[in-house]
Structure 1
């Protein structure tokens, strides 16, 4: 078992920790959106009468937050993919 196959390097461990951290942040933020929606849509609390507009507001916010690090601040390098790969892996069938 002394080979390099299966060895965890510091770079791999860092990527694993970063991935789990991102998933945890996503779960916490999703939970907050669910609770926020419950508060806004509940008739006893805020009583927002337009659930579709609330969804549009959330999606606009999420799209903006996703757009900023990729296109404006260039925190993440954009992925190059062919049209065929995009259609087969991203677009739902």
Structure 2
């Protein structure tokens, strides 16, 4: 990402310099804009990919949380059964 930011900054600096010339080279400016657009498109794809992975991570975390809650409930139910068994055994003895 840092390299991409550096590339955009350099392209914008070059474009800014080219536009300040008394007679700008419009073909060179257009080439700089094309290069910058390519970098921006790459960033856009990266952001889309990152967004998808963040959403996936959130969904996985929700599944994990639900699974852990279910496991905790099962453990609590098992403890209740164990305690009932202990009480029944104690009253039998």
Shorter-chain TM-score category? 0.3 to 0.5
The TM-score, its normalising length taken from structure 1, stands at 0.40
Answer 1 or 2: which has greater helix percent.
2
Calculate the TM-score normalised by the size of structure 2.
0.40
Greater Rg by CA: 2
Q: Between the two structures, name the one with larger relative contact order (CA 8 Å, sep ≥ 6).
A: 2
